[in-house]
Structures are given as structure tokens and as C-alpha cells.
Amino acid sequence: MRKVADPSLLIGLSQRKRHWKGGSMRLVKSPNDIVFAAALLLMAGVLYWQVSSLRVGTILRMGPGYMPTILCGLIALAGLGILARALFFAGEKLHSWPFRPLTFIFAGLLAFGLLVERGGLLVAMPALVVLVSLADRDSSLREVAALAVALTVFSALVFVTALRLPIPLWPAG
């Protein structure tokens, strides 16, 4: 009796992958991780570009660019690790972006940056808290007011009083 060859040996590699248990035709197994890895690598690249003009020095005589350069390298390594994981291990599919939280958090940070010098900490911190709280549809006015007061007092005590940073408390006038 003649033996028949296994048909999976006769078909091409790409078709063989389809029949292989656990095999996947997609090169990217986790699109969410790809996006996150790309963001980390982009951030590491931009940060390195910003600190590349600083003197690094040696481990015994560290310059002002030593730690920022190390941190850029660590961020890039984390991005490469997540990228490798995304190529080899299955993960979640790409979800839609949460535009409301991203918009209000960015707006709060921008408002704080623009208001802190002219309006002082007593104007900038509540503006930050109110704008960032709009990112969550469930935040109540009472919670937002309490958080704004608490963070403003805490920031004033820590940064202005204890650390003596030159941050104005009151609006410049």
C-alpha cells in the first residue's frame, strides 16, 4: 500500500501558517502596544534631542545632561520592549481615543502654564483643577471645589513657603 504525503507539507509557508494551531497571519499582534511603543520612542527621541546639548560627563563627575540622557535611554528601552511584545504576543485591538479626557487635561495644563506667572498660583491652580475635572462626566461641583482649595493650599505651602520657589501667589499687578 502506498503512503500519501501529508497535504500540509505540500502547501506554501503562508498557507501552512493558517493551518498551524495558534498561528496568526498578522505581523502585529497588539496594535494598542504598537501605538504606545511609538509614543514612548517618539518621546525619548524628542527628549534626547532637547538634552543632547548638555554636557553628560562621567559617572564620577556627572554633568547636567547625565541623568536626562540616562532617562531618555530607559524610556527608549521601555518602548523597544513594548514594541517587541506587540509583535510576538497577542493583545487588545486598537480602541478609539478618549478625546474628552485628552482635550480637557491638555487644556488644564496649558491654562496653568499660561496663568501661573500672570495670575499667580491662586488663579492658576483652581483653573487647572476645574478644567481637568471636566474630563470626567461624573465629577461633582462640591468635589471639584474641595479639590481646588486643597491643591491650591497644598501647592502654596509646599512650593512657595517650604521650597521658596519664585512662584507668585497673587495676580501680578
pLDDT value at residue 15 = 46
| pTM beyond 0.85, yes or no | no
Angstrom distance (rounded) from CA 168 to CA 159? 10
Write out the three cell numbers for 48. 534626547
pLDDT tens over the chain, length 173 residues: 555 554 444 444 444 444 444 555 567 778 888 889 999 999 999 999 999 999 998 888 989 999 999 999 999 999 999 999 888 888 777 777 789 999 999 999 999 999 999 999 999 999 999 999 999 999 999 999 999 999 999 999 999 999 999 999 998 76
pLDDT value at residue 24 = 53
Q: Where are the beta strands (DSSP E) in the chain?
A: none
Buried b (16+ CB within 10 A) or exposed e, 132-169: bbbbeeeeeeeebeebbeeebeebbeeebeeeeeeebe
